[in-house]
Amino acid sequence: MDQLLRGDGLTTQQAAMITVVDLLGTPSLSQAAAALGTTHQNARQLADALQRKGFLQISTDQADARVRRLSTTAKSTSYWRDRSAADQQQVLDWFGDLTPAEAQTLFDLLAKVEHRARAALGRPQQDRTQSRGPGPGSGPA
């Protein structure tokens, strides 16, 4: 993945940070670090680098000045929207050797992991009344 992002000056860890911030809304730096399974110091370095590149905004929490909140920027949204189709195709190619049944099993297992991760972070489960299932257009890559 680093090779796909290197041309744009991003690393896989930085992309993961952006993904976590997008999923969590405006997490604290500590919440983002926990979601990434990394140290507060490493998360701060990632956030600082992404702020310098214009992908993240670091702001002071309104209720507690000691807490730093993270949010993605319009530049980030635009960047990932423009990359989306090519990135989705790349990810689909990675799973190209799976049969439809294997792909569905993988999707179901990952949904369980997502449920557990969301519960651990105190984030509500997304509505899954319509099964997205694996395949083109089934959700973000």
- Confidence (pLDDT) at 109: 92
Q: What gap in Å lies between CA 21 and CA 46, rounded to an integer? A: 12
Q: Are 68 and 106 in the same domain?
A: no
- Indicate whether 89 belongs to any domain: no
The greatest distance separating any two alpha carbons of the chain, rounded to the nearest whole angstrom, comes to 51
Domain around 33: 2-83
- Confidence (pLDDT) at 28: 95
Q: In the predicted model, is pLDDT for residue 73 greater than 80? A: yes
Find out whether 128 and 100 touch, Cβ atoms under 8 Å.
Answer: no
Give the model confidence (pLDDT) of 115-127 as tens digits.
888 787 776 666 5
Q: Which CATH number is 44's domain given?
A: 1.10.10.10
Q: In the predicted model, is pLDDT for residue 71 greater than 70? A: yes
Q: Are 60 and 16 in the same domain?
A: yes
pLDDT band at 32 (very low <50, low <70, confident <90, very high): very high
- Indicate whether 57 belongs to any domain: yes
Least confident piece of the model among 12-21, 22-31, 53-62, 83-92: 83-92
Give the model confidence (pLDDT) of 33-54 as tens digits.
999 999 999 999 999 999 999 9
For range 84-98, the mean pLDDT: 80
Q: Are 14 and 61 in the same domain?
A: yes
pLDDT band at 95 (very low <50, low <70, confident <90, very high): confident
Nearest to 141 by CA among 80, 96, 69: 80
For range 77-104, the mean pLDDT: 83
- Confidence (pLDDT) at 126: 60
Find out whether 21 and 71 touch, Cβ atoms under 8 Å.
Answer: yes
